[in-house]
Amino acid sequence: MRHRYFGGALLAAVAVLAGPSLSKAQFTAGEGGGFQAPLNTDPIVHLPTGHAGDAGFYTGFEFVMLTQTRAIGHQNIAQRGFVDSTGTILGIPGQFIGSGARALNTADFSPRTFQPGFNLEVGWRAEDGTRIFWNYTQVYDAHYSQGASLVPWNFRTTVDLADTFLTSPVFNFNPAFAGPGNKVANLPDFSVYGIWNGASQMDIKFTQRYQEMNFGVRVPMFQTDYSRAYGIAGGKFDWFFERFYWRAVSYDINGNTRPDFAANYTNTLSQRMYGPFLGCGNEIFVANQFSLSLDLTGSILMNVVKQRAKYKLGDETVQSKWGREEFRLVPNANAAFNLWWYPVEGVQIRVGYQAMTFFNTLYMDEPVGFNYGNIDPGYKIKYFRLVHGFNVGIGFFF
């Protein structure tokens, strides 16, 4: 389709091609994907690109800035103080000494952030306007972290300095995780037993990653002088990858530590989703070389869930593992709104906003399972998960 403007008019009279042959495909991150024939072929610049309405290959690259739901619960990981393991201090083993103030909690992660990424698409347009496309979206990892040390806020601690220690309720671990024997002055060795009991440093980190891939077809359906509609269908793949990491380090009374005085814990939740999608889109011409489009798609995805948790000694000699797999159905709905600019024939630029919603996924409600001998973190259903943000891209057809 070609548009020409006469007498300074804001909108063009459209020369409608025979049948529904209309588009070179529309470039949208996600199921929409693709590029279409320019609305305006003026000015003509001699570039090694194709002509409006021709069949052939096209490609596009897009920069995206997306953010997603930070799906993690509010679990207390560590508190200030230590446990009298042998009863040397209070006469009863297992008594807690210190204020018990919260030192690490997953609720204290920084606010969620936008992450950069990219969308790449390639495809083929037929003479009748139908096209086949493949696209891939990658968003770089979002990292959230925090830590606690032997120095509490404003140096506020108890008179006996018990709050300079950090403790987590890990239990059922083997003697390799005993940690240094002499952590507290003037007490017999191993009165404060375990790396996680009376530690001096703890750090936690939460990582999120999102990937998407689509393969489909886009078919012209209907057009008027100033708008056109199309249907979209195909198959899609979405992947949510989330990992929680926790490290605890104990020191002896002389401030020394060793690799076997540290312990690492990881919890990995991987959700790979596969399924068909179906949708439609509409584009409206608004001015010379400019248009607006809206794409809507939906799908039912099979979610392959893998849960993995592991404790490992700092020197990597001893570890305890746990894992589980399950399958879930995840409904998915997406929307993409874009402003298009066709500066020259064969080149297209767009700026837009996109939102992808997922229902019935899982999340780490309690990422840490404190029972070393039978690790069992707490997972719950995330009834609504959102990935959304902005995009700007350029495409070429040949």
pLDDT for 195: 97
State the Cα–Cα distance between residues 396 and 331, nearest whole angstrom: 33
Contact 117, 140 (CB under 8 A): yes
Cα(253)–Cα(275) distance, integer angstroms: 58
pLDDT tens digits along 114-165: 999 999 999 998 888 788 999 999 999 999 999 999 887 766 666 568 899 9
Q: Is 242 helix (H, G, I), strand (E, B) or coil?
A: strand
Neighbours of 29 (CB within 10 A): 31
293 close to 335: Cβ distance less than 8 angstroms: no
For the entire predicted model, the pTM comes to 0.84
Output the pLDDT for position 135: 95
Q: Write the burial class of residue 255 (CB in 10 Å: 0-12 exposed, 13-18 middle, 19+ buried).
A: exposed
Structure tokens given for 327: 């399958």
Residue whose entry in the numeric block shows the structure tokens 């929409």: 32
Picking from 280, 269, 268, 394, the residue whose alpha carbon sits closest to that of residue 341 is 394
* Mean of pLDDT over the chain: 86
Please report, as a single letter, which amino acid is at residue 122.
Answer: V
Q: Which domain covers residue 107, as residue numbers? A: 3-397
pLDDT, residue 343, reads 85
How many domains are there within the chain? 1
Q: What number is the average pLDDT over the span 276-292?
A: 92
